[in-house]
Chain A
């Protein structure tokens, strides 16, 4: 039996007709005429007839040639999710065209070229996909898009956005957008986020950024610098926050007014270029009390390791020997902090000084995940130890603040 077939089942004494949806573990899920799904023993259902093909002719997307050209690069995630018949789960399978169809107002804002380098849940994204994505975006920029919108799952959106930030120089906005509530629900944040992302892509901005709800209400989207943004809540619409800096811009809804902050990088500040090599053999270790030095053995062979240490950037003294050995074997080790807020400083306590003496590089106020992505990129650009250290401690794309500004 296949999804859509008409079947007969008997949840009570009398039989009733329904539509077969799926079968799992001996239980058949049947949709009754009332719309309710129920699970009945699969052996109790009786085939009546094949379901009619429910092929809906989707309305065609009309584009206004007088409007600016944007590129929507779709990679999956909740923003493009649908309910899957087979598993009953929300999965990503919409094309970029379907996104336009789902948000008709997009047609009043621009023309769209769409691409789909890959489609996957963001937890399954690999650094190699960042390279594909960066190449796609670069091509779209050089092909004249006024701005780029990348739809992306929210779990690892900050990793991908920062990866693109390091790999790309862009004169136009490259805006990552996602949603926290699946697109199938009437309350989804996908419509507002998508419209705001196009407004941001049309604006005077000129960098890679993330566009998501700024509050729990449908009133303002915040535009976050890709190298300072973090998902700070599992489920809220306003999960994304800029850490250590204010958002670089806001977009009001529904009037879509973009208000850039004073530190936003403006359109056409850079010539487009692409440096897409990454060293994937890098990892992130979160130190915790009681961590066994033996764990470090598993990281031998890594070209780079970022540690999220405690406080100002510490591990236990017990681990320092193992870290020193990693460094002597050629692994670059960067120290960041679990505090997320603030700067590491390994000059204050003995442990810190010992870590520095072992060759650990202080990651300033970089967010741990951003430091990891940056390390992959830096190691993809150079093998020179001094140059690696210099680049890791320099502010390349807004990932490091020279000053920890009062009030943030």
Chain B
């Protein structure tokens, strides 16, 4: 695709959890829990309210269509603030400091006086019905061509357990939201900017790591298209695919619009009740439905079933809208007969709905309320198809396509969090921030200073164990040994299914020191770590690989083996070193440094020759 010709503009929002002691607006720890550890449950209803501007946000209103009931799991590590049963505590200064550090790294200008806002979110993920968020700094830069618009500090939402049940452990963990300008023009550029910002975030050493701790939302539009926000892209490598599929979707939807307009397609005001048509149907969904509603989309034949993204049709978009009313989806004549609906039934349906061959009939089923709500939303989406592309918030599907979530939220969803006083950001707060070394600079420094391979240096700098690496190297341990242990041995063990995650950094450092001073052979490291991971304590693990050989012990063993193979050695000369080394190692492996073994063996062979 020629993205330039299509006028692609993309931006990203990066959400990153901060690794603070306490949550953003309460004093609870920021640790996640297993739901089996919950100690209670509360049940609540949420509803949209009018903002200070006197309007209900369209995204919130959409969610209100389904007035739903939510359950929340509580823990001994959550409090009345997560329950929305106590006013919030003042903003966590640790989280603010980390956010200002990130802002400074991105050359942003802090806001003079920060006001915490309530962003209306009534999907149940916040007990309050809003997410607390504050704009902290504006106008920064990544690279040469991309601007950062803003950085906000907000509270993480509760984790969804099932449809309407949420776990309160995650609610309130500090989260920074970094929003770029729509300054990217190719799918790859979007990924690269996301990767760079991710690197900046991790450079602080104060962000959470691991699955779900960073999420990307991507904003995409093409010329004549619409701004679409796709939420929840967790893997960087999927970003180009997501962008390219959204461009495809918009291109196809614009083509559909043009064709519909050429055909003079029209959409009726409302659907009609056709429940009686399917009383004897073989379609189990329609047979058990209390109410079936249908509507004829004049001039839509072939359009509803047209693919707009891999596995997605215009019909899928209509179906997403219909699902907001609680129905399972829609049927339409572009795909019927199918799903147990026969040709005769389709004919009867077309007749009842007065649909010609150039028209498409859409049907929905459910309770009478659900079905009439759903058909109206299907018709609303059909009308939008004639006009172009609606601005939407969408959720990413596993392969990179996306489904409709809600309309793009407007400014009306924000109103002041009156329980939190405004906060001054002084120049002293900014000036006293010491900027951390960027991971990219760190990698370069490791390569220069320690003479390690650039790729390895990068691997070390970007890993969570880089502080351990630095500490070990500063105590005089050879960088190559540390690098090999942390990024070779530990990785290999984990590939073999040995979980070394529980071994504290201090013990690994201790082992490295022993290797350095010669009291543990570096060959013994895998076995010692394996034993330690298996539950032994450190001393037990060291002992389990057997006592260390002295060089004198080794010389004795080597001499014995060499003498036994004297004839072989004389025959092969220096070339005997390899095979004999194998024999020796079988006896001494893990108990003395291999380099020492090789030296001793070489000397013994020379003696015989």
What is the CA–CA distance of A38 and B130 in the complex, to the nearest angstrom? 18
Among B45-53, B161-169, B201-209, B472-480, the stretch in contact with A = B45-53
Residues of B within 8 Å of A36, CB to CB, are 115, 117, 133-135, 150, 152, 414
Q: How far is the CA of A137 from the CA of B113 in the complex (A)?
A: 47
A235 lies within 8 A of chain B by Cβ: yes
Shortest beta-carbon distance from B172 to chain A in Å: 15
- For the complex, is B305 an interface residue (Cβ under 8 Å from A)? no
- Given the complex, which residues of B lie within 8 Å of A88, measured CB to CB? 416, 418
Q: Which of A34, A215, A237 has the most CB of B within 10 A?
A: A34
Q: How far is the CA of A352 from the CA of B55 in the complex (A)?
A: 62
Stretch of B83-91, B240-248, B550-558 lying at the A interface: B83-91
Assess whether A187 is in contact with B55, with CB atoms less than 8 Å apart.
no
Chain A residues closer than 8 Å to B55, beta-carbon distance? 56
Nearest CB on A from B427, distance (A):
13
Question: Are A218 and B129 touching (Cβ within 8 A)?
Answer: no
How far apart are B236's CB and chain A's nearest CB, in angstroms? 26
Per-position binary interface string of chain B over residues 38-61, scored 1 when its CB falls under 8 Å from any chain A CB and 0 otherwise: 000011111111101111000010
- The verdict on A139 contacting chain B, using a C-beta distance below 8 Å, is no
Q: Contact mask A208-222 → B, CB, 8 Å, 1/0? A: 000000011111000
Min C-beta distance of A263 to chain B, whole Å:
29
The smallest C-beta distance from B268 to any residue of chain A, in angstroms, reads: 27
Measured between beta carbons, the chain A residues less than 8 angstroms from B138 are 11-12
Give Cα distance in the complex from A217 to B73, angstroms.
12
A403 at the interface (CB under 8 A from B): no
Contact, CB under 8 Å: B113 / A27: yes
Task: Say whether A14 contacts B117, CB under 8 Å.
Answer: no
The CA of A35 and the CA of B134, in the complex, are separated in Å by: 10
The smallest C-beta distance from B85 to any residue of chain A, in angstroms, reads: 5
CB distance from B46 to the nearest CB of A (A): 4
CA distance A181 to B128 in the complex (A): 9
A89 to B415, CA, bound (A): 11
A37 contacts B115, CB within 8 Å?
A: yes
Contacts of B86 in A (CB 8 A): 234-236
Q: Mark B517-549, 1 if CB is under 8 A from A, else 0.
A: 000000000000000000000000000000000
| 1/0 contact string of B380-413 vs chain A (CB within 8 Å) | 0000000000000000000000000000001111
Main secondary structure of the interface of A (DSSP, over half): loop
A39 within 8 A of B: yes
Q: How far is the CB of A250 from chain B (nearest CB, A)?
A: 16
Q: Give bound CA distance, A217 to B130, whole Å.
A: 18
Partner of A185, one of B111, B118, B150, B410: B118
Within the assembled complex, what's the spacing in Å between the Cα atoms of A184 and B86?
A: 16
In the assembled complex, which residues on chain A have CB atoms less than 8 Å from the CB atom of B115?
29, 36-39
Query: Which residue of chain B lies nearest to A54 when distances are taken between CB atoms in the complex?
Result: B54
A11 near B112 with CB under 8 A, answer: yes
Q: Is the CB of A217 within 8 A of B44?
A: yes
Complex formed: what's the CA distance from A102 to B416 in Å? Answer: 20
**CB-nearest residue of chain A to B111:** A38
Closest chain A residue to B74, Cβ basis:
A216
User: Looking at the complex, which of B119-127, B284-292, B450-458, B578-586 is the stretch in contact with chain A?
Assistant: B119-127
Please name all residues of chain B whose beta carbon is closer than 8 Å to the beta carbon of A13 when the two chains form the complex: 109, 139
Alpha-carbon distance A139/B516, docked complex (angstroms): 93
What are the residues of chain B within 8 A of A183 when measuring CB–CB?
49
Partner of B42, one of A39, A83, A217: A217
The answer on a CB contact under 8 Å between A236 and B114 is no
Rounded to whole angstroms, the CA-CA distance of A218 and B47 in the bound complex is 13
A394 interface residue per 8 A CB criterion: no
- CB neighbours of A191 from chain B (8 A): 45, 47
Q: What is the minimal beta-carbon distance from A210 to any residue of chain B, in angstroms?
A: 19
Distance A188 CA – B109 CA, assembled complex (angstroms): 36
- Which B residue sits closest to A85, measured CB to CB? B52
Q: Is B80 an interface residue (CB 8 A)?
A: yes
Q: Does B594 contact A (CB under 8 A)?
A: no
Does A40 make an interface contact (CB < 8 A)?
Answer: yes
Which residues from chain A contact B133 at a C-beta distance below 8 Å? 36
Report the minimal beta-carbon distance from A381 to chain B, rounded to whole angstroms.
Answer: 41
A41 within 8 A of B: yes
Q: Is the CB of B83 within 8 A of A216?
A: yes
What is the CB-to-nearest-CB distance from B512 to chain A, in angstroms, rounded to a whole number? 47
Residues of B within 8 A of A215 (CB): 42
| Residues on the B chain within 8 Å of A102, using CB | 49
Give the nearest-CB partner of B67 in chain A: A254
**B102 contacts partner chain A, Cβ-Cβ < 8 Å:** no
Q: Pick the residue among A27, A35, A184, A217 that contacts B413 (CB under 8 A).
A: A35
* Chain B 167-203 per-residue mask, 1 if CB under 8 angstroms from chain A, else 0: 0000000000000000000000000000000000000
Asked if A298 CB lies within 8 Å of chain B CBs, one says: no
Q: How many Å lie between the Cα of A39 and that of B421 in the bound state?
A: 12
Q: State whether the Cβ of A32 lies closer than 8 Å to any Cβ in chain B.
A: yes
Chain B residues with CB below 8 A from A33, complex form: 411
B293 at the interface (CB under 8 A from A): no
Q: How far is the CA of A27 from the CA of B80 in the complex (A)?
A: 33
**Contact, CB under 8 Å: B47 / A186:** yes
Interface flag for B422 (CB, 8 Å) = yes
A34-B135, A39-B115, A216-B42 given as contacts; is B411 within 8 A of A186 (CB)?
no
Specify which of A40, A89, A186 is in contact with B418 (CB 8 Å cutoff).
Answer: A89
Tell me whether A340 is interfacial, beta carbon within 8 Å: no
Q: Which of B113, B122, B414 contacts A40 (CB 8 A)?
A: B113
**A191 to B64 Cα, complex, angstroms:** 15
CB-CB nearest in chain B for A3 = B52
Q: When the two chains form their complex, are residues B112 and A40 in contact, meaning their CB atoms are under 8 A apart?
A: yes
Which A residues are in CB contact (< 8 Å) with B122?
186
Interface status of B108 (Cβ within 8 A of chain A)? yes
* Nearest CB of chain A from residue B76's CB, rounded to whole Å: 16
A245 on the B face (CB < 8 A): no
Q: A291–B120 Cα gap in the complex (Å)?
A: 50
A181 contacts B84, C-beta separation under 8 Å: yes
- Chain A CB within 10 A, most for which of B42, B108, B120, B410: B42
Contacts of B60 in A (CB 8 A): 186
Measured CB to CB, the closest approach of chain B to A104, in angstroms, equals 10
Q: Are A187 and B113 neighbours in the complex by a CB distance under 8 Å?
A: no
A216:B85 contact, CB within 8 angstroms: yes
B128 touches A237 (CB 8 A): no
Given A32-B135, A34-B135, A235 contacting B111 (CB threshold 8 A): no
Which chain A positions have C-beta within 8 A of B109?
11-13
When distances are taken between beta carbons in the complex, the residues of chain B under 8 Å from A302 are none
When distances are taken between beta carbons in the complex, the residues of chain B under 8 Å from A11 are: 109, 111-112, 138-139
Report the minimal beta-carbon distance from B63 to chain A, rounded to whole angstroms: 9
**For residue B139, which residues in chain A have a CB less than 8 angstroms away from its CB?**
11-14
The 3 A-B pairs at the shortest CB distance, nearest first, are namely A186-B129, A39-B113, A35-B414
- 22 A-B residue pairs with Cβ-Cβ distance under 8 Å, sorted by A, are A11-B109, A12-B138, A14-B139, A31-B411, A35-B117, A38-B135, A39-B111, A40-B111, A54-B54, A83-B52, A83-B415, A90-B418, A102-B49, A186-B48, A186-B49, A186-B122, A186-B129, A187-B84, A187-B129, A188-B49, A216-B42, A237-B85
Known: A36-B135, A38-B135. 4 other contacts (CB 8 A): A11-B109, A38-B114, A41-B112, A235-B80
